[in-house]
Amino acid sequence: MDAVYFDAAVGDDVRRDRLFHGQLFVYGPTPASLALVEHARMMLEEAFGERDPLTAQFDMPVEDYVAICAPLKPAFIHNDRTKELVRKVVADLGADLEQTYIDVPRLRMVTSDAYLTSGVGYAHHPHRDTWYSAPMAQLNWWLPIYDIESESSMAFHPPYWDRPVKNGSRDFNYYEWNSVGRRDAAKQITADTRKQPKPEEELELDPQVRAIMPAGGMVIFAAAHMHSTVPNTSGRSRYSIDFRTVNRVDLEQGNGAPNIDTECTGTSLRDFVRGTDGTQLPDELIAKYDSGAKAGELVFQP
């Protein structure tokens, strides 16, 4: 990784190629992203009632916070308005919805001062999404719902773009994760005991890059990028949205980031649907990227 592009006026084909080479693309808010953020805020603020979602953690037991967020996450994910706005966000930034397949958008919360670091508020350790059975052609889109600070952001770790890391992905199967790990998220309050692929060696997290953008701003990065949640010490909970895309041409041609240390089995490709009509990728194309036992849930059903 040697470049961060800000509001770059390049086509989607060029952008994807540069992302597959470890670059980052950062964008300011767009009309569609601001509409998505407003939609998410309405759901958050309705769920928390009279409490401010940013500071509610300081006024309630952690179990009560989880009780609010656990049903809110799937309610946001499977909301038709959410999906419509995500498609508009992708189209706003020049992606061809006929060739672009999008997975479900996720609502994330990262509380301050280690109030909740597991389950629905999991603070991600350094990882690549490809360790979780994401295809090498996957791109991640991330945007904050409220303004963030460096102390409540996400960090990228550029030295590991082309440096292999010993990790636990060899023991990770996506279908097992769907049937056990994702389903048990709300049960993880004081500690997160779910089996997840983690580094098995000490990492040097500096130098690191943190993208700080206003609410509705976005960063796009390759799923193979090493990234982590910055320990939130801002005094406010951080709420964000992320989703992932793949381009069918890339999957058909084998384009994507290099695989330097990923050994997981299964594939998340069945989660993606075409931006124009919501159809899934063809089974024969998914089969090219599938591997390992299929015991468990091929697609997570909340």
Residue 184: what pLDDT?
47
Q: DSSP secondary-structure letter at 275?
A: T
Residue 9: what pLDDT?
92
What are the tokens at 275?
Answer: 């931006």
Is it the case that residue 302 has pLDDT exceeding 70? no
Residue 178 CA to residue 173 CA, distance in Å, equals 9
Does residue 104 form part of some domain? yes
Does residue 297 form part of some domain? no
CB 158 within 8 A of CB 1: yes
Does residue 300 form part of some domain? no
Does residue 302 form part of some domain? no
Domain that holds residue 29: 4-287
- Which one, of 298, 249, 247, lies nearest residue 274 by Cα? 247
Mean local confidence (pLDDT), 230-251: 97
Mean local confidence (pLDDT), 58-62: 95
Does residue 110 form part of some domain? yes
Predicted confidence (pLDDT) per residue in 162-215, tens digit: 999 999 999 999 998 888 755 544 443 454 456 789 999 999 999 999 999 999
Does residue 229 form part of some domain? yes
Q: What is the mean pLDDT of the chain?
A: 92
Say which residue, 122 or 171, is predicted with more confidence. Answer: 171
Does residue 296 form part of some domain? no
- Give the CATH number of the domain where residue 197 resides: 2.60.120
Q: How do beta strands 238-247 and 227-229 pair?
A: unpaired
Residue 2: what pLDDT?
73
| Phi-psi map region of 9: left, alpha, beta (phi>0 left; psi -120 to 50 alpha) | beta
Q: How many domains does the chain have?
A: 1
Q: How do beta strands 238-247 and 106-110 pair?
A: antiparallel
CB 228 within 8 A of CB 157: yes
The mean-pLDDT minimum among 25-34, 63-72, 79-88, 193-202 falls in 193-202
What are the tokens at 70?
Answer: 């656990």
Mutual orientation of helices 62-77 and 31-48 as an angle, nearest 10°? 140
Does residue 182 form part of some domain? yes
